[in-house]
Each structure stands twice: as structure tokens, then as C-alpha cells.
Amino acid sequence: MPRDALRIRDLVVEPGVKRRGFLTVGETGAGPVELPVVLVHGARPGPTLCLTGGTHGTEYPGQTAVRTLARELDPAGLAGTVIAIPVLNMPMFAARTAFLSPIDGLNLNRVAPGRPDGTLTELIAHTLFSEILPLATHHIDCHGGDLTELLWPYSAYRLTGKPELDELGTAMARLYTPGIFALFREGTPLTLTSGTITSEAAKRGIASILGECGSAGGLDPGDVRTHLDGIANVMRFIGMLPGPPVIRERQLVGTGQFVVQARRGGLLRLSVGIGETIEEGQELGEVWDVFGDPVETLRAPARGLIRIIWTHKVVSSGDLVLKCWTTEPAPPFALPNQVPR
Ligand SMILES: [Zn+2]
């Protein structure tokens, strides 16, 4: 039976064809705010994978991976369909702001699924959740450290309590990450913040994972490669690309997290780096006053792996310095059968 064309508004793509365009979500006084969309409609049937980058406009490696994959994918060799949005949050992309939209002050990854009568950030989320994600069986939201964050790569999935979906989402997260993954669940130390895109998508039955790699507004080719490898590995697993997925050995699973804060104000002098494992009581650095006298020694409250270092060099009382995972070796990974959807 011939495959149907894929249609999103006036973007219509026949099987075996790639097409791109913009979806208008609203407007500012300066003109329309649009979502850039690339539709790669495979010649053969298969899953529909939505890839989103630029939920936060200055997290460049993930959006670059989505853009690169959408450019390189050949619909003739693809089973299924990729709906790629290189940059979800174009106002942030244009303004180069971190975390929050320059237009309405909202965090796009806290307002999902959005509102049709909301402001621009809510309208972006609403367009994603009402017109794009309902077409998808699988979804990857590509993030990284924002302008002020050094980040150690990881992936995450929000457990829903639906066994087949959770098995699929967990497998995708493990195939995406180079080393650490986390499974978020209500009522555990890894409770997920409400309104995140991946958790709201998973609630709607979509196997939706978070892929995090990249740091501090940078665009390191190795970070782009980490995202691209993760996406391709998931695509092999769900049968969109040929070949078996690579099973990564010796993974860690995040079991909890904690932060280290400064109590004193001054110049921060850290003596540890991103991805390092720290031991309880270990000295992490010092805070110096403006004359260079040490006023505080920072120590690890527990054993953990440093997942975020905030890049600020001067701190005030209560400022975040580090965020760490507590981890365990992940159980052996047996690839589940692809769950029919
Ligand atoms: Zn982000």
C-alpha cells in the first residue's frame, strides 16, 4: 500500500521527499515568530521521530546536530519520518538570552504543553504539542549547558508507569548517552519539574527523551558529534536507519542529585572540574574576598559526579557553585524488542 503524504498546515511532503518551511506561532511588533521545520518523509513506512533543538536558544550543539541530521538524511534510505525543528525558540535564538524568553520572560521548558491563548513562549509550546508531537511516536529534545553552565553529558527519561512505553524510553535514553542516564519519577529524589517538554510528551504516550551535551554557549564539534551519535543510535534501534545500535558498556544511572552553594561572597577559586567524581568532605575550592584572603572553603557534602559547574567567577551568599549526580553502576542492558506502536 502506498504511503500517505505528510501534511503540517500547507507543508505537504510525499514519501521519499524532504521539504522545509516555517510555521507561524504568533507575532511581535516586528513581525511573525515562526518555527523552522524540516520534514524528511521516508520512502518506506516506520516510526515518526520528532527532533527538537534550541528549546533554549543558546544551547548550540544540540540544535546544530538536529540541523545537520536534517540536512544529511536521505529520505530514499529512511524508514519512517523525521520531523526536525532545529530551533524551537527563535526569539531566544535571535536575542542570545539564556533560559528565559526575551519577549515574555518564560522558560519554554517549563510551560509545556503551552496554551492557545498564551504569550509567545506558551504559543510555541502549544504549536509543538497540538500540531507536531501528535504526529510523532518518538521524540528527542536536544539540550546542553546554557550560557553560564559547564555540563557533563547525560540523557533522561520521565517514567510514566506504562511498562512498554517506559521500557522503550529507558532504552532510548541508554542508547543516547555516552555515559550517564537518569530516570525521573514522581516521589523520588529525581522528581521532574513540571512543564518540561519531554515529561509532557511522555505523559501523552510518546517515547520522549532529553539529550544533554554542550557547555556555556559553545559549539564544540565533539559535543555536536555526541548528539549526532545519540540520535543515530536511537534511529537504528527503532528501525529507521540500517544496522544494529551500539550498546554502551559501563554506564552509570543517576539516583539523586545535590548542589554545592557558597555561603560567603567573593571570588570563586574552584579546584575541581566537570565530570569529576568527588568524595564526601573533599575540598572543592575557596572563596576569596576582594583582597585575596580566603573566607570560605567549599567541601563536598556527599560523594557525587559533577554534572554542572556554573561559570560565574564571583559569588554571593547562597549562589550555586556545583550540581552533582549521585550514581550507581547501571544494570546490564539487554535491548528490548521494539514495542509496536
Ligand atoms: Zn536547555
According to DSSP, residue 335 is labeled: P
Give the start-to-end residue ranges of the domains of the chain. Answer: 6-237, 253-329
How high is the pLDDT of residue 187? 83
Query: What is the spatial distance between Cα 119 and Cα 126, in angstroms, rounded to a whole number?
Result: 10
Q: How far is the CA of 147 from the centre of ligand 1 (A)?
A: 10
Amino acid at 162: K
Residue-level pLDDT at 337: 73
Question: Residue 176 and residue 141: Cα distance in Å, rounded?
Answer: 11
253-329 topology per CATH: OB fold (Dihydrolipoamide Acetyltransferase, E2P) (2.40.50)
Nearest CA among 62, 81, 99 for reference residue 14: 81
295 alpha carbon to ligand 1 midpoint, in Å?
A: 33
Residue 110 DSSP one-character state? G
- pLDDT of 188 reads 85
Q: How far is the CA of 140 from the centre of ligand 1 (A)?
A: 12
Paired strand residues for 306: 324
pLDDT on residue 341 = 44
Q: How much distance in Å is there from the Cα of 338 to the middle of ligand 1?
A: 28
Residue 1: predicted pLDDT? 58
Measure 145 CA to ligand 1 centroid, in angstroms: 7
Cα-to-centroid distance, 215 and ligand 1 (Å): 10
Contact 335, 245 (CB under 8 A): yes
Cis ω for the linkage preceding 113 (within 30 of 0) = yes
What separation in Å is there between the alpha carbon of 282 and the centre of ligand 1?
29
Residue 284 C-alpha to ligand 1 middle, in angstroms?
A: 26
Residue 93 CA to residue 101 CA, distance in Å, equals 9
pLDDT tens across the length of the chain (341 residues) = 578 999 999 999 999 999 999 999 999 999 999 999 999 999 999 999 999 999 999 999 999 999 999 999 999 999 999 999 999 999 999 999 999 999 999 999 999 999 999 999 999 999 999 999 999 999 999 999 999 999 999 999 999 999 999 999 999 999 999 999 999 998 888 887 889 999 999 999 999 999 999 999 999 999 999 999 999 999 999 999 999 999 888 999 999 999 999 999 999 999 999 999 999 999 999 999 999 999 999 999 999 999 999 999 999 999 999 999 999 999 988 888 765 44
Residue 86 C-alpha to ligand 1 middle, in angstroms?
13
Distance 195 CA to ligand 1 centre (A): 13
State in Å: Cα 121 to ligand 1 middle.
Answer: 14
CA of 211 to the centre of ligand 1 (A): 9
pTM: 0.96
d(CA 311, CA 118): 33
Determine the distance separating the centroid of ligand 1 and the alpha carbon of 143, expressed in angstroms. Answer: 4
DSSP 106: -
CA of 55 to the centre of ligand 1 (A): 6
Ligand 1 centroid–CA 129 distance in Å is 18
Alpha carbon 311 to chain centroid, angstroms: 20
Domain 6-237 has CATH 3.30.930.10: no
Beta strands in the chain (DSSP E): 6-8, 11-13, 17-28, 31-41, 44-53, 79-85, 138-143, 149-151, 154-158, 180-184, 207-212, 252-261, 266-270, 277-278, 283-288, 294-299, 304-310, 314-315, 320-329
Using the mean position of ligand 1's atoms as its centre, give its distance from the Cα of residue 228 in Å. Answer: 17
Distance from the CA of 77 to the center of ligand 1, in angstroms? 31
